[in-house]
Structure 1
Amino acid sequence: MEGAFKGFGPKAIPFLKALDFHQSREWFLENRDLFEKELRDPFGDLVETLTERFAAAGLGLRGDRKKSLFRINRDVRFAKDKRPYNRHLSAILSPDGTKMEQGVFYVHIGLERCFADVAWWQPEPALLLAMRKTIATQPDKFRAVVKALKKNSLELETEGCMKRMPRGFEHISEPDLAEAIRNRHFVVQHVIDPAGIHMAELVDELVDFTVRARPLLDWGRAIEGKVPEK
């Protein structure tokens, strides 16, 4: 198909390294064509190819090359670090194609690492509370999700979890449930080999990951559907 993802360009990561070294608007403008050819345009192809594949798999995730990509520019208004450019480029595919939804697919191509997440990231308070209550009151269902993810070689990330139990859940004593309730996010992650970003097969890899992460998507969506809208 027209615009099908064929891989990121061979200079995608070298471009990010050079941009990180220069951190200069003048350098970026001089090399904008390289950015677009090697990194941005292939990323747009990846988003739109994944949108078609996710639709075929019934995953309920979509995006497009204009709305889904995050800017390479950093927002430095309130940051101590005033470097103007990120060390990565990333994108989100979501149920409605915007960056405002929960239960999303996120892909990140960067200098430190390349990875993809399926995530309920920083859900708003009512949804997070509903997720925690579901874990506490329906532990068997939650454990079934964890078991299904483990069977698919995935596990929930625990980075950034609260050190203490949130108010109202102090009575939960089972270690696995307590750990889950302390989460601020519900995320599974797939590490991408940087050598593989240059090949069209990256699409198959990311679709396979997202299919394996479906138990988390389905669990969160069932809870989200019962949270009253504001």
Structure 2
Amino acid sequence: MTDNRFRGFGEKALPFLKALDFHQNREWFLENKDIFEAHLHEPLGDLVEDLIQRFEKAGLPFKGDRTKSQFRIKRDTRFSKDKAPYNRHLSALLSPDGSKWTETGCFYVCIGLAEYRGCFASVAWWQQKPELLLGMRKAIVEKPRAYRSMLAALGKNGLQLGDGDSLKRTPRGFESVTDADLIEAVRRRNFNVRHPIDPERITAPELVDDLFDFAERARPLIDWGRAIQGTLVNEP
């Protein structure tokens, strides 16, 4: 595509984060804020806008805003042992309602240092409300063919569910499940697929094409979750 708004992240994007990791103070950040804006913040906004337009045309349920969809570079350290005031990454999240704080299927992209989060994208059902997570677990047990078909479709597209955050024991009410793959599934708290981004490619305009292609390949996961979500909404 030739009409991209996104032209790639700046060459100083990762060097800026590396230097920020070393300095970690407000004075240095303000002195170098122009680099942050030009090489990280604005390009991520362009990437978000390009993806939103493509997702809408493709019928993928990911919406947002070039500014509001981005997470702040400044950290909330109140409940963290790590008191460094700035993140070593910049990220954004798109969701069906355009909110960053969503409990529905979402698309997440992160540009960061390899020793921390690194560079990657993810499509996920993450931190769902208890009733949706329970609905997913019931669907896995009651309709295992649909769950396994979703996994097979992901596999055909070169993707697989991430390890995620799983329970050590089978949740109450599902003790009768005996199939190993279904036991693993009902113990999951989240369902996500991940796409690594080569740090050397973040300056390339084609990154937006790669991320859109990833989201398309992750569609089976989104469709599976939305089908379950729809049954919960329609319940009396």
Could you tell me the TM-score, scaled by structure 2's length? 0.94
1:144 paired with 2:146, answer: no
Given candidates 154, 179, 191, the residue that maps to 1:186 is 191
Q: Establish whether residue 78 from structure 1 lines up as the match of residue 83 from structure 2.
A: no
Match of 1:153 in 2: 158
The amino acid that maps onto 2:41 is R
**Offset at 1:61?**
1.1
Deviations 1:104-130 (A, max 9, x none): 000011102210000001111111010
- Cα offset for 1:60? 1.9
SS at match of 1:75: coil
With 156-165 and 16-25 compared, the bigger mean Cα shift is at 156-165
Structure 2 counterparts to residues 48-63 of structure 1, below 5 A: 48-63=49-64
Q: 1:138 to 1:97 in 2, by over 3 A?
A: same
Identity %: 60
Give secondary structure in 2 for the equivalent of 1:89.
Answer: strand
Alignment of 1:9-48 (within 5 A): 9-48=10-49
Specify the alignment match of 1:169 in structure 2. 174
Q: CA deviation at 1:3?
A: 7.6
d(CA) in 2 for partners of 1:103 and 1:3? Answer: 25
Give distance in 2, aligned partners of 1:55 and 1:83. 37
Correspondence for 2:110 among 97, 108, 113: 108
C-alpha distance in 1 between matches for 2:79 and 2:95: 27
- The answer to which of 167-176 and 5-14 deviates more is 167-176
Instruction: Give the equivalent residue in structure 2 for 1:220.
Output: 225
1:64 & 1:228 partners in 2: Cα distance?
26
Question: What is residue 88 of structure 2 aligned with on the other side?
Answer: 87
Number of residue-to-residue matches in the alignment: 229
Tell me if structure 1 keeps the 8 A contact 2:164–2:192: no
Which one-letter code corresponds to 2:53 in the other structure? E
Per-residue deviation, 1:207: 0.6
SS at match of 1:198: coil
Give me the whole-angstrom Cα distance separating, in 1, the residues matched to 2:212 and 2:18: 28
Which secondary structure state, in structure 2, belongs to the residue aligned with residue 60 of structure 1?
Answer: coil
Structure 1 unpaired stretches of 5+? none
Detail structure 1 runs of 4+ shifted over 6 Å in the superposition.
none
Distance in 2 between the 1:15 and 1:123 partners? Answer: 34
How far residue 48 of structure 1 moved from its aligned partner, in angstroms, is 0.2
1:8 aligns to 2:13 (yes or no):
no
Query: Cα RMSD between the aligned structures?
Result: 1.4
CA distance in 1, matches of 2:187, 2:128: 13
